[in-house]
Structure 1
């Protein structure tokens, strides 16, 4: 069913706002080329329970929440592969930690979107955006085991985390809803800490 024009515009405008502010419209999807954001003290942070109202969300808040949901929902199936594709205990622990963090952030984002009375449809459905694993890349992951799988996994995790930190920074700069901005701060801190965790894992 086609959405009314007003709904389409409502979705498109905030999406453009976040992508332009984040500077991530189009570009190479090579995971290895994704730069690591500035380092911060490793810590896992939880965001406060949403407390705003629908009227307190601006377009950037909505766009960032929708993009965060889309990116996280694309990453979780990758993390779910880890127990069956590698026996490395360090990678298994890392994947379990990331999955718990990502699911907690996803739950917060979903709750904020409900609170914002945002459209329930996913405006990013079918889009292979920066930081997202494509269907072809997912097929490659399912076909790999051991060290080759770990190598592919590391590249995709870096791409996702670095892009998540970028768009979270855009939300912190241009968002206005306190709980959404607080969630973005948590995403940025957790993402930076997890990138550092990957650095240690690679150098071990």
Structure 2
């Protein structure tokens, strides 16, 4: 009997460890993630720093812009994306998934992020000059967010993530259209 217990434990350990990897080598979604796939988790992990950067750049507009339009768009971005960051951060915590730093995974820059040089450039501008630089930069940043949201709409499983992604597509597309109309 004493020999059977250690062998049973060893068998259980092998069974548990075998379930911790996939054929592709990608980590499975953490346990206790009802309806959340790895695509849903990755979306939140990438969209949180993307939104945080939107908020950072929008805050610059409230300080440096001469345009009431730019300030109004920036305020909308700050309000909407701050709430979305809280939502996605909550999901990541409930899924026991780590949030990525703004610099991206493993220190590499994530696609769709504004470079540190571009942010520094904005920090050195004021007034109409700032507005001319900010508008196209923010439009491109928002386009990248729409692309990320469309990806999870087609590959995600978590209903709330997909609903948020659809909101992001609609709201950011509207903001892009407003910004683009001002640039033209």
Same fold (TM over 0.5): yes
Question: Which residue number in structure 2 is paired with residue 187 of structure 1?
Answer: 168
Q: Provide the residue aligned with 2:10 in structure 1.
A: none
Structure 1 residue 193, shift from structure 2 partner? 0.9
Which fold has the larger relative contact order, with Cα–Cα distance below 8 Å and residues 6 or more apart in sequence?
A: 1
Question: In 1, Cα distance between the equivalents of 2:65 and 2:105?
Answer: 30
The aligned counterpart of 1:132 is 113
Shift in Å at residue 140 of structure 1?
0.5
Q: TM-score, normalised by structure 1?
A: 0.69
Cα distance in structure 2, aligned partners of 1:13 and 1:199: 39
Contact 2:70 2:135 (C-alpha < 8 Å) held by counterparts: no
Moved more, 121-130 or 169-178: 121-130
Name the structure 2 match of 1:63. 42
- TM-score when normalising by structure 2: 0.76
Q: Which residue of 1 aligns with 2:97?
A: 118
Larger radius of gyration: 2
The structure-2 alpha-carbon separation of the partners of 1:139 and 1:109, relative to structure 1 and needing over 3 Å to count, comes to same
Distance 1:185 1:173 in 2: 11
Aligned residues: 156
Q: Report what 2:80 is aligned to.
A: 101
Return 5+ residue gaps in structure 2 as ranges: 1-19
d(CA) in 1 for partners of 2:100 and 2:142? 24
Partner residue, 1:40: none
Q: 1:81 aligns with which of 54, 60, 67?
A: 60
CA distance in 1, matches of 2:55, 2:68: 19
Q: Establish whether residue 157 from structure 1 lines up as the match of residue 149 from structure 2.
A: no
Report if the CA contact (8 A) 2:49-2:100 is conserved: no
Look up the match of 1:167. 148
Matched, 1:92 2:71: yes
SS at match of 1:129: coil
Q: Mind listing any 5+ residue stretches in structure 1 that lack a counterpart?
A: 1-6, 15-52
Aligned to 2:177: 196
